[in-house]
Amino acid sequence: MDCSSPIGIFDSGIGGLTVVKAVQNALPNEDIIYFGDTARVPYGIKSEHTIRSYALQITEFLMDRDVKMILIACNTVSASARDGIQKATGDIPVLDVITAGSKAAMQFPHHKHIGVIGTLATIGSKAYEEAIRQYNGEVEITAEACPMLVPLAEEGWTDNEIAEQIVKKYLQKFEGSDIDSLILGCTHYPLFTNTIRKVLHDPDIEIVDSALSIASMAKKKLGDLQLLNDEQSGNFNCYVSDRPQRFRELAERFLGQDIPNVHIAQLQQ
Ligand code: DGL
């Protein structure tokens, strides 16, 4: 492993591409290997044991490709398996979206009430509450699981009438509440930002996405470790566990760029 090694980024599906986009902007020289577990998405309705075992298989896959850092671009995995992944990677640094998302929410120290939305596993784990409380013990936190949103995003339905109705139903919890910010505690959810904005009806509510925050944490960490790539490279390779062509089409739509290198990689079931 050295400066020219790639950064490994993974998620259960396309959601982690929101993190890829931010990393490509912050670190254009870096090569990226992305893994999307399209054969087994969604993770958020599965048990902690299952999520952990999937995450460790992907970690091994990325380590076999000599990555210099791993970004867990999945809140569900961050909530269930972060420590196990760091243990498995040894010296290779691991950053996760829950730490990044909580830090991002702390940019607004005057906020008194924070909303969090995520998968059943993430919300059930209370990982956001724990992470936020490390910075601020006073703030009120209201959390809601939105299990239908990941399958909708994988279907590409993020901006239509059905998406809007489902988002409305989930966000009812925050109606009439005085939340100052809403953390998108699932990397699929930034794909619904327009719909969420429309449903919230309140431009003053700050929508917090962990992608920019994890990208700047990655830049800082690689700099500290003197592992930044000085050469212009920026290769992007995607691996998925099922249906690469379908992933490619959706991913190209969301990233707004060609993604020629989508490969299939089957992990043990
Ligand atoms: N993008 C994943 C997350 O951030 C979605 C998990 C799932 O597959 O349900 O939690």
Instruction: Note whether 18 and 109 are same-domain residues.
Output: no
Q: Tell me the pLDDT of the chain (269 aa) as tens digits.
A: 899 999 999 999 999 999 999 999 999 999 999 999 999 999 999 999 999 999 999 999 999 999 999 999 999 999 999 999 999 999 999 999 999 999 999 999 889 999 999 999 999 999 999 999 998 889 999 999 999 999 999 888 999 999 999 999 999 999 888 999 999 999 999 999 999 999 998 999 999 999 999 999 999 999 999 999 988 889 999 999 999 999 999 999 888 888 988 999 988 76
Question: In angstroms, rounded to a whole number, what is the distance separating the alpha carbons of residues 179 and 235?
Answer: 40
CB 35 within 8 Å of CB 61: yes
Q: At 100, list the tokens.
A: 């990044």
76 C-alpha vs ligand 1 centroid, how far in Å? 5
Instruction: Note whether 194 and 129 are same-domain residues.
Output: yes
**What residues flank ligand 1, with Cβ below 6 Å?**
11-13, 15, 41-44, 74-76, 119, 122, 150, 186-188
Instruction: Note whether 143 and 180 are same-domain residues.
Output: yes
- Asked if the bond preceding 42 is cis, omega within 30° of 0, the reply is yes
CB 34 within 8 Å of CB 10: yes
Residues with catalytic roles? 74, 186
Quick: pLDDT tens for 229-250. Answer: 988 889 999 999 999 999 999 9
Domain count, the chain: 2
> In a 3-state reduction of DSSP, which class is residue 236?
strand
Which secondary structure element, helix H or strand E, spans residue 9, and what is its range? strand 7-11
Which ligand 1 atom lies nearest to the CA of residue 76? 10
Quick: pLDDT tens for 62-105. Answer: 999 999 999 999 999 999 999 999 999 999 999 999 999 999 99
16 C-alpha vs ligand 1 centroid, how far in Å? 8
Q: Which of 169, 188, 209 is the last residue of a domain?
A: 209
Residue 257: per-residue pLDDT: 86
Residue 269: per-residue pLDDT: 63
Which ligand 1 atom lies nearest to the CA of residue 147? 9
Instruction: Note whether 84 and 143 are same-domain residues.
Output: no
Main-chain dihedrals φ then ψ at residue 9, nearest 5 degrees:
-130, 135
Q: Assess if residue 2 is contained within a domain.
A: no
Residue 162: per-residue pLDDT: 96
Which of 116, 144, 187, 247 should be mutated for ligand 1, with most atoms under 8 A from CB? 187
Q: How many distinct helices (H) and strands (E) make up the chain?
A: 11, 10
**Which residues, including other chains, have CB under 8 Å from residue 190's CB and lie 6 or more apart?**
18, 184, 209, 211
Residue 176 Ramachandran class (φ > 0 left, ψ -120 to 50 alpha, else beta)? left
Question: In angstroms, rounded to a whole number, what is the distance separating the alpha carbons of residues 222 and 202?
Answer: 38
Instruction: Note whether 183 and 164 are same-domain residues.
Output: yes
Instruction: Note whether 89 and 127 are same-domain residues.
Output: no
Main-chain dihedrals φ then ψ at residue 10, nearest 5 degrees:
-145, 160
Main-chain dihedrals φ then ψ at residue 29, nearest 5 degrees:
-80, -20
Instruction: Note whether 83 and 114 are same-domain residues.
Output: no
Q: Residue 105 sits in a domain of what CATH number?
A: 3.40.50.1860
Q: Assess if residue 1 is contained within a domain.
A: no
Q: Assess if residue 216 is contained within a domain.
A: yes
Residue 7 Ramachandran class (φ > 0 left, ψ -120 to 50 alpha, else beta)? beta
Residues in the chain, how many? 269
pTM of the predicted structure, to 2 decimals: 0.95
Q: Domain of residue 166: give its range.
A: 99-209
